[in-house]
Amino acid sequence: MLIPGKELPRRTFLRGMGATVALPMLDAMIPVRGLMRFAEANDPTRLICIEAVHGAAGSSPYGATQNFWAPSAIGSDFDLTPSALLPLEPWRKHLTIVSNTDVRMAEAYKSEEIGGDHFRSSAVFLTQAHPTQTESSDIFVGTSFDQLHAQRFGQATPIPSMQLCIEPIDRAGGCAYGYSCAYTDLISWASPTEPLPMIRDPRVAFDQLFGAGGTVAERTARRRTTGSILDFITGRVADLQRELGAADRRRMEQYLENVREIERRIQRTEARNNSGEPRELAAAPTGVPDSYEEHIKLMFDLQVLAFEADTTRVFTLKTGRDASGRVFPESGVSTGFHNASHHGNNPKRVSEFYEINKYHVGMLPYLMERLNSTMDGESPLLDKTLVMFGSPMADSNVHNHRRCPLIFLGGANGQLAGNMHLKAPDATPMANAMLTMLHRLGHDDLQSFGDSTGEFSL
């Protein structure tokens, strides 16, 4: 028997030949409507933390006069037209902008730390703590925002949290200015001394989420075919469908088709990258698309599927690597990312960096649409999710960490009203806004976070 009785447990898995596919929320899992509402009311908020490196053009002296990041108006009557946040205009009712907060823990505290901002900043973003300068194993920074949430609300899921990245990482040795590469390339910290590894290859993330293949040999053999992990659970699917109502069958069919479509996209990427044709990212794994947009959209789709199946409730995504020279031609700018960020406050070059910022923000509406169109019980996932997007750097031209970019997206289970621009008083730590959000997410017992000095009203 696949499922005993008529009521399905929320943790229902379809298994076969090394594949393990969790199911989305179905009516059959909570058949009484009142219990469904009760379950949703007690459903922890899903969390996605996204780091953008190199700050924003709007944090430069010239860019600030042009409102290249935050709009000029405070409150709800703001104009996003001149801002890099313009792509989020269709989603402004889900957007909360928090401007003018500082990430002082990313600054140099000793003379020997001067110049190392690129190589310590990522470790600060979600910890709001100052890293101990070392290239050895005695790394120390802080427990990160995402891991506080995962430790409290992620333990009931098969995977407490997942960490994804777009650029290559180096988890060993030193990077520059006496800093371990753990500080440069890893943004999730389970404790001050325990950074968590990040996944760049969508194939690896897919296999973790869906248990595709019990051994390395099985996974390798399967990737050589055009088959699907769903082929291994066909019989289980047919058995279950006979027990489900029409609405649940449609929901499950759509969910499994989404799983298959992501798998097809990964297979197409692998086939192209194994074809012998020249690659733009020559050293990247075969599952990594050369296209930045395709890569990040695959990562977003995997996150939404994982939330839908409640496989995990916490994700982090590192969208770039400090000092990366990657070019983003779709932005209309041919200058490499790092060079563009060191613009000398020249208006023309600041404007070019602004276009790259806007292109990166332009990836977020895809995630918003996917979350909004995916139901979890009676509500879209967007209503149950907090997306935090920001940078531990402000004006990258001078490695400044004052007035850093930070926005919140989604409903966070009713904890964010949206359509709001809040400007913090000068010298407000970003950690204050994060502490407030942690309280909103259910961490009421936390008295402080990082270098917070108190709550920041949202």
Q: At what angle do helices 292-308 and 202-210 cross, to 10 degrees?
A: 10
Residue appearing with tokens 């404790």 = 191
Rounded Cα distance between 328 and 360, Å, is 9
Could you tell me where the beta strands, DSSP code E, fall in 224-354?
Answer: 314-318
What is the predicted pLDDT for the residue at 426? 97
Rounded Cα distance between 358 and 199, Å, is 25
Rounded Cα distance between 384 and 40, Å, is 9
Domains defined for the chain, CATH in brackets: 45-200+288-440 (3.40.720), 205-287 (no CATH)
**Amino acid, single-letter form, for residue 6:** K
Place 32 in a pLDDT band, splitting at 50, 70 and 90: low
Pair of tokens at residue 457: 């009203």
For 155-174, write each residue's pLDDT tens digit: 999 999 999 999 998 766 67
Compute φ and ψ for 199, nearest 5 degrees: -110, 125
Residue appearing with tokens 């890099």 = 84
Rounded Cα distance between 370 and 61, Å, is 36
Rounded Cα distance between 18 and 258, Å, is 20
For 241-295, write each residue's pLDDT tens digit: 998 999 999 999 999 999 999 999 999 999 999 999 999 999 999 999 999 999 9
- As a whole number, mean pLDDT of residues 313-341 equals 97
Q: At what angle do helices 246-273 and 202-210 cross, to 10 degrees?
A: 150
Please give the model's pTM, rounded to 2 decimal places.
0.94
Residue appearing with tokens 């409903």 = 411
Residue 278 to residues 49, 167, 264, 272, 281, Cα–Cα distance (Å): 33, 19, 21, 10, 9
Rounded Cα distance between 453 and 430, Å, is 10
Q: What is the mean pLDDT of the chain?
A: 92
Pair of tokens at residue 263: 């798998």
